[in-house]
A and B are shown apart, each in its own frame.
Chain A
Amino acid sequence: GAGVSQSPSNKVTEKGKDVELRCDPISGHTALYWYRQSLGQGLEFLIYFQGNSAPDKSGLPSDRFSAERTGGSVSTLTIQRTQQEDSAVYLCASSLTTEQETQYFGPGTRLLVL
């Protein structure tokens, strides 16, 4: 079956522009996570969706960042008024609601803000 997919795979934008990143989780997975990874760094948690519950937004670095998940499946991460420090790889992961909650990651979107 298909894994987690993300689009676009690469995005170059100008400072101040808005960007939208998309994540398609594995079918049937109710939990969805967004992370970002700056060059040479570990993963930084951004936001978490679980079913119809209110998302855990505790990792969002500023109010320029937001995310939504429509119909419990596809998620969009939006960054408004992008800054150069937003340049990173944005990773999406999904998991079943099981005791172990193994997360399966997508290939990521590489964002470059000029």
Chain B
Amino acid sequence: NAGVMQNPRHLVRRRGQEARLRCSPMKGHSHVYWYRQLPEEGLKFMVYLQKENIIDESGMPKERFSAEFPKEGPSILRIQQVVRGDSAAYFCASSPPWGENTEAFFGQGTRLTVV
């Protein structure tokens, strides 16, 4: 039973390029969450998705960032026209439908470096 899989683990992009981060949830999980962690800081919520639906994107920057979780395939976090300040670790977590004792399992993250 594979855990949450994120790829790539490391991504280097030049300023102005696009970054695409992928997250495959655990088998049987239909809910995906994306978080950003800046160096020496805590995890910050970005977006919560179910299959084909964005449930909560209150943590997403208004511009350049988008996320999707299609019916088939992994969830994608897309960052257009990356800037130096986008350099961070991006973590994905997945869970079954959320309840009081629901566990959310995290992937190992994608470390984005913008040069």
Task: State whether these chains interact.
Answer: no
